Amino acid sequence: MTNLERIRKYLADGIAEWRNETDPEPAERYARTAAKLESLLREVSDGDDDAEDRFAVAEALYCISGDFHSGQASPLYAVGGVLESHPIWFRPSPIGNGPDSDGARRIYRYFRAHHRRNPSGAEGFAERAAVILAIVCTDADDDETDDDETDGGDE
């Protein structure tokens, strides 16, 4: 989904400030989470549609934060909040129980299985996944801005 160098850059730029961590996790841990998300999506994604993958991660995280948070002090509550803000802007339709897409279901099931064994570790995974999603969405925004600048020309 994104590489270690990019993760380091965005963490330095404060993309995960909403986490309010006193001791932030190393960039390598985020990179492992990104690799896990990629492997979960690989079997159900054609790899060409990044927007579909971003949507699957957002959809899974939305369901996770709704189903597993334990109140406003929960880290997962913050994940739900960040999904609806810049740069993600994810607001699903109110219809449905659980994730709809195959990719989102795979991520959701992975989280649920880990949550049973280690709730705080699973919540950390979801928080890191939200940061990775924010980085990927920021990259997508930057790519669109670059395209807009080059498409404009000197007309």
Give residue-wise pLDDT tens across range 40-93.
998 887 666 788 999 999 999 999 999 999 988 888 999 998 999 989 999 887
Cβ burial 112-144 (10 Å sphere, 16+ → b, else e): eebbeeeeeebbbbbbbbbbbbbbbbbbeeeee
* pLDDT tens per residue, range 105-127: 999 999 999 999 999 999 999 99
Give residue 155's pLDDT band: very low, low, confident or very high (50, 70, 90): very low
* Predicted model pTM: 0.87
Give residue 19's pLDDT band: very low, low, confident or very high (50, 70, 90): confident
Nearest-CA neighbor of 53 among 93, 106, 91? 106
Neighbouring residues of 131: CB distance < 8 A, sequence distance ≥ 6: 10, 11, 15, 16, 19, 30
CA distance 98 to 128: 21
CA distance 127 to 104: 16
**DSSP-assigned letter for residue 17:** G
Average pLDDT on 18-45 reads 88
